[in-house]
Amino acid sequence: METAVQHDRPLASLDLFEEITRLKKELNAVILAHYYQEPDIQDIADFLGDSLQLAQAAKSTNADVIVFCGVHFMAETAKILNPTKQVLLPDLAAGCSLADSCPPALFAQFKAQHPDAVVISYINCTAEIKAMSDIICTSSNAEKIVRSVPESQKIIFAPDKNLGAYLMKKTGREMILWQGSCIVHETFSERKLIALKVRHPNAIIIAHPECEAPVLAHAAFIGSTKALLEFTIQSPHTEFIVATEAGIIHEMQKRSPHKTFIAAPPNEEKHCACNECPYMKLNTLEKVYLTMKHRSPEITMNEELRLRALKPIERMLKLSK
Ligand code: 13P
Ligand code: SF4
């Protein structure tokens, strides 16, 4: 944490928007932010997107420094794509329950049990898991990636069992699923969702495919964060119950100010912020400023691991053009 040392002004007295804009020029930095970041970070970002858009933006940037406002696996992907650029993550503890649910040693054993299977891994995984995969996908392109694999080929899908089950239903393909999940997308309560829908009969439910099947069954539209946003912009409906991380509502409301967005209710009986990702929300505007000022914390990676993880990401990017 920053302290009020002799030459530093205390954080509270700074205009962080102004300071971050100044540092951006000084470092020739680009700020990439996921839709689940806090509103101030979304507003100051040069590029706001979902996992696929952010990976594509990281690949095409000319900046010297990438300030990644998202979680660790996303910043790691940016580093895999940009070994010579400095990649900063405002809080190194910004992990992901889904990535954590797939430890590399256990996954290696699982993979060894199915030696003839192609491994498709959701981008929400560590570099070690990516290095053990044949192709990466995000929720934006997962269906296309699964369909790109010949029908006769066995597929292991990791780590999200909910996205995997959704894809099996959508494509009719059998897949061997790793049993991982996201704590945020598993928090939604079907019972409360139905009760909310009764109170808002004109609202339609939209959901991210990381949600469990009983929640998805009530959704009028299922898609990645970006697809959900675009759906709300184009839809003639004016009221939406949104079953994904609540951070996306900031951009939905900005893009459709006259429409109403209601965050889907979590399972807890008490009031809680369980539909907010605790990892994503570790990043704050203050930390963005400090990480740019000190050029730390930085993502570093072993070159041999980077090269192995790069191959399946490049395959995904090629297929996503
Ligand atoms: P997308 O950005 O692909 O929608 O994924 C959502 C998510 O959980 C990111 O961690
Ligand atoms: Fe991971 Fe879920 Fe948070 Fe996304 S919302 S970063 S999948 S824990």
Domain CATH number, residue 229: 3.40.50.10800
Mind listing the pLDDT tens digit for each residue in 220-271? 999 999 999 999 999 999 999 999 999 999 999 999 999 999 999 888 655 6
Task: Judge if 48 and 106 occupy the same domain.
Answer: no
Of 148, 182, 216, which marks where a domain is finished?
182
Ligand 1 centre to CA of 32 (Å) is 14
d(CA 134, CA 137): 10
- What pLDDT shows up at residue 14? 83
Task: Judge if 230 and 244 occupy the same domain.
Answer: yes
pLDDT band at 34 (very low <50, low <70, confident <90, very high): very high
Question: What is the residue range of 32's domain?
Answer: 11-94+281-301
Of 130, 152, 182, which marks where a domain is finished?
182
d(CA 197, CA 217): 13
3 has pLDDT over 50: no
- What pLDDT shows up at residue 273? 72
Average pLDDT, the chain: 94
98 close to ligand 2 (CB < 6 Angstrom): yes
Residues 7-16: what's their mean pLDDT?
A: 79
Q: How many helices (H) and strands (E) does the chain have?
A: 15, 12
The CA–CA distances, whole Å, from 201 to 134, 194, 238, 320 equal 45, 10, 12, 37
> Which amino acid residue places its CA nearest to atom 9 of ligand 1?
51
Identify the CA nearest to 133 among candidates 151, 147, 145: 145
Percent of the chain at pLDDT > 90 equals 91
Task: Judge if 73 and 115 occupy the same domain.
Answer: no
- What pLDDT shows up at residue 272? 66
Task: Judge if 71 and 142 occupy the same domain.
Answer: no
**Closest ligand to Cα 183:** 2
Task: Judge if 178 and 199 occupy the same domain.
Answer: no
Residue from 161, 183, 211, 283 whose mutation best tests the ligand 2 pocket (most atoms within 8 A of CB): 183
pLDDT band at 4 (very low <50, low <70, confident <90, very high): very low
Answer yes or no: is 83 within a domain.
Answer: yes
Locate the DSSP E strands across 92-225: 118-122, 135-137, 155-158, 176-177, 204-207, 221-222
- What pLDDT shows up at residue 6? 43
pTM value is 0.94
Atom number, ligand 2, closest to the C-alpha of residue 96: 1
Instruction: Work out how many domains the chain is built from and give that number.
Output: 3
Task: Judge if 29 and 87 occupy the same domain.
Answer: yes
116 has pLDDT over 50: yes
207 has pLDDT over 70: yes
- What pLDDT shows up at residue 161? 98
162 has pLDDT over 50: yes
Percent of the chain at pLDDT > 70 equals 96
Answer yes or no: is 6 within a domain.
Answer: no
Answer yes or no: is 312 within a domain.
Answer: no
Answer yes or no: is 34 within a domain.
Answer: yes
pLDDT band at 100 (very low <50, low <70, confident <90, very high): very high
Written as six digits, the tokens of 67 are 């300030």
Task: Judge if 106 and 178 occupy the same domain.
Answer: yes
279 close to ligand 2 (CB < 6 Angstrom): yes
Mind listing the pLDDT tens digit for each residue in 275-295? 899 999 999 999 999 999 999
d(CA 12, CA 115): 56
Atom number, ligand 1, closest to the C-alpha of residue 227: 4
Q: How much helix, strand and coil, in percent to the nearest 5, is found in the chain?
A: 45, 15, 40
pLDDT band at 72 (very low <50, low <70, confident <90, very high): very high
1 has pLDDT over 90: no
Task: Judge if 127 and 73 occupy the same domain.
Answer: no
Residues lining ligand 1, Cβ inside 6 A? 50-51, 124, 138-140, 182, 210, 224-225
- What pLDDT shows up at residue 231? 98
- What pLDDT shows up at residue 7? 56
- What pLDDT shows up at residue 268? 67
Residues 179-192: what's their mean pLDDT?
A: 94
Of 136, 163, 182, which marks where a domain is finished?
182
- What pLDDT shows up at residue 59? 92
